Structure 1
């Protein structure tokens, strides 16, 4: 124990204001979201690799044997949303509200709208399969029937 104190002076020490604690917590959450966005991007890139290699006129037999379906336009647009993550990370680092607004707009346009489009695009097939259990007219990939 320090001489000259009885140990009760801790109540007078400085504390971090609540808004700064909340800000740090939200920045940490956003970093996790951006990290998972990168993971999803690499998964999508693996799906798009067949089409990308075809466009570059590169033939890889192992990838061609997978018979990956041709990608839709929303998948490429969603992949462009990864560029917005750099804005988000810069906004976190510099505490810039305008950069964060641009990040949110970019994620909405390039990330959320294409996913909503995909949801609407595939919903009739999912509904048909869920209600009938029949796979006729449903887009399937690598189906194994035992």
Structure 2
């Protein structure tokens, strides 16, 4: 008889001492890289027109969005021609200052790549969109994107 018995060798336990560090590093990474919606809509969510050819915008950080539609608050009226710039209802005359402010937040090399996206409701008048386009032309913001939803066939 032997004095020493052989122990069964199994898989060693996984060391979980570094697990909290890894979890907190991942949490910190996602907190830093995630961007939240910067504006809350003051107009009803625009019903975008449908289109057959739709292309996604590439550099979302260089896109300035102008919303056109019906205001949620009755004090602004019930027409579909209200313009929202950031978090406030504005007029077409305030669009150049809005674009100049957006340009000041990016580097001079990125200014030519800036795009203005117009998200207009299908019920909005063409006159309001034309007024916005003329004001954009005044500040030389000539790259304009009209948002549309893809037509389902």
Length-normalised TM-score, structure 1: 0.24
User: Which protein is bigger by CA-based radius of gyration?
Assistant: 2
Relative contact order: is structure 1 or structure 2 higher (C-alpha 8 Å, sep ≥ 6)? 2
Greater fraction strand = 2
